[in-house]
């Protein structure tokens, strides 16, 4: 369950959106600038977040993105799954390429016990919680 830089950027950008007025659309470059993230990379990330229902987009007069739901209704688990894939909490956190049910790593059985707890913790952690502390980075 190694998380990518894209997940980090997604969480940072979503924290930025959660701190902005709701129901207002913001373009990717404005979000990227205030969160100090690379705009072109973030644009691709927002496509995944839109598919995952985490943000909604508008191409009309108010062009850009906004949160798809209130930040307290968006879990960190949802964000990570939208970026990394639905199976992220089933993957090995230690040796992603060399561990499977067929060929388990030495820590496989212990991680299998912990995975549901980690998934549940991230499911309970909301975007609102991440964005509540000033200056906190995802």
Q: Pick out the chain residues at pLDDT < 50.
A: none
**Count of domains in the chain?**
1
What is the spatial distance between Cα 127 and Cα 129, in angstroms, rounded to a whole number? 5
In a domain, 138, yes or no: no
Give the predicted TM-score (pTM) of the model. 0.88
Residue 111: the pLDDT is: 86
In a domain, 90, yes or no: yes
Residue 118: the pLDDT is: 93
Domain residues for the domain of 38 are: 5-132
DSSP 40-97: HHHHHHHHHHHHTTSEEEE-SSS-EEEESS-GGG-BHHHHHHHHH-TTGGGS-SS-TT
Encode pLDDT of 58-91 as tens digits.
887 778 999 999 999 999 999 999 999 998 888 8
Q: Dihedrals φ, ψ of 91, to 5°?
A: -85, 160
In a domain, 51, yes or no: yes
Residue 116's CATH number: 1.10.10.10
CB-count exposure of residue 44 (10 Å: 0-12, 13-18, 19+): exposed
In a domain, 137, yes or no: no
In a domain, 103, yes or no: yes
User: Would you say 76 and 128 are in contact if contact means Cβ atoms under 8 Å apart?
Assistant: no
């Amino acid at each position: 369950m190694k998380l990518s830089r894209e997940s980090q950027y997604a969480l940072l950008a979503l924290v930025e959106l959660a701190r902005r007025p709701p129901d207002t659309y913001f373009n990717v470059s404005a979000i990227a600038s205030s969160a100090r993230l690379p705009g072109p990379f973030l644009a691709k990330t927002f496509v995944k977040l839109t598919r995952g229902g985490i943000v909604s987009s508008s191409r009309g007069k108010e062009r850009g993105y906004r949160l798809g739901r209130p930040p307290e209704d968006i879990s960190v688990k949802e964000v990570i799954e939208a970026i990394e894939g639905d199976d992220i909490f089933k993957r090995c956190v230690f040796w992603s390429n060399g561990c499977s049910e067929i060929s388990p790593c030495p820590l496989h059985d212990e991680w299998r016990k912990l995975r549901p707890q980690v998934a549940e913790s991230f499911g309970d952690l909301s975007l609102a919680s991440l964005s509540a502390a000033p200056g906190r980075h995802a």
